[in-house]
């Protein structure tokens, strides 16, 4: 008889408290958003998918060298003619025959964008990068076709000026 009130109190509280919490949360605004219809608010310095403006890339390989996970693969060939100037005033001396970024490996550390002297490699606000095939996660930015690449390599005698990433390990 001594513990009857004690058991009655805690049993009643154990039943009524979850009901009270459910009743209070029933009238609150929902925390979740309906994703395809509503987009989450992104912070100004959030890191999303990478994009390379290949027209401004000088092929310096700094982004690939600083990458901690080797997700950037670049192949450059020394140019035999003047390729022009980038938007930032850097002279282009190399053909960028391959510029691939493997988004599946990328850890979004933003180191590659910080070391880029021409600021052609940037983080975009695009975060919807889901694909059905993981090979589609390899972003290819080089505008040179395989035929043009073969011609450039033939003129250069098969020598590349710089190779990084997975391409360097295969060689």
Coil, helix or strand at residue 104: coil
Coil, helix or strand at residue 27: coil
Distances (CA, A) of 149 to 84, 101, 125, 165: 19, 18, 31, 18
**Region label for 164, one of left (φ > 0), alpha (ψ between -120 and 50) or beta (otherwise):** beta
Residue 34 lies in a domain: no
Closest-CA residue to 54 (of 140, 153, 150): 140
Residue 38 lies in a domain: no
Residue 9 and residue 130: Cα distance in Å, rounded? 52
**Mean local confidence (pLDDT), 106-128:** 91
pLDDT for position 155: 85
Helix (DSSP H) and strand (DSSP E) numbers for the chain: 5, 6
For residue 171, pLDDT beyond 60: no
Residue 12 lies in a domain: no
Residue 166 lies in a domain: yes
Residue 57: is it exposed, middle or buried by C-beta count within 10 angstroms (0-12/13-18/19+)? Answer: buried
Residue 30 lies in a domain: no
* pLDDT over 90 percentage in the chain: 37
Partner residues linked to 99 by β-bridges: 74
Q: Which domain range does residue 163 map to?
A: 50-170
Mean per-residue pLDDT over the chain, rounded: 86
Residue 19 lies in a domain: no
Q: CATH code at 100?
A: 3.30.70.3270
pTM confidence score: 0.74
Top mean pLDDT of 31-40, 63-72, 125-134 is at 63-72
How many domains does the structure of the chain reveal?
A: 1
| 95 or 5: which leads in pLDDT | 95
Residue 85 and residue 29: Cα distance in Å, rounded? 54
């Amino acid at each position: 008889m001594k513990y009857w009130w004690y058991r009655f109190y805690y049993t009643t509280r154990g039943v009524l408290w979850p009901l009270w919490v459910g009743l209070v949360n029933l009238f609150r605004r929902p925390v979740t958003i309906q994703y395809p219809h509503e987009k989450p608010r992104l912070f100004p310095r959030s890191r999303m998918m990478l994009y390379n403006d290949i027209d401004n890339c000088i092929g310096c390989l700094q982004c690939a060298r600083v990458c901690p996970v080797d997700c950037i693969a670049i192949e450059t060939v020394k140019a035999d003619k003047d390729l022009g100037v980038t938007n930032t005033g850097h002279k282009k001396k190399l053909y960028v025959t391959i510029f691939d970024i493997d988004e599946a490996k990328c850890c979004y550390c933003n180191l590659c964008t910080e070391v880029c002297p021409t600021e052609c490699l940037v983080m975009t606000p695009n975060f919807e990068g889901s694909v059905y095939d993981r090979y589609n996660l390899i972003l290819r930015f080089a505008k040179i076709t395989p035929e043009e690449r073969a011609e450039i390599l033939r003129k250069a005698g098969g020598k590349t000026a710089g190779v990084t990433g997975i391409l360097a390990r295969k060689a």
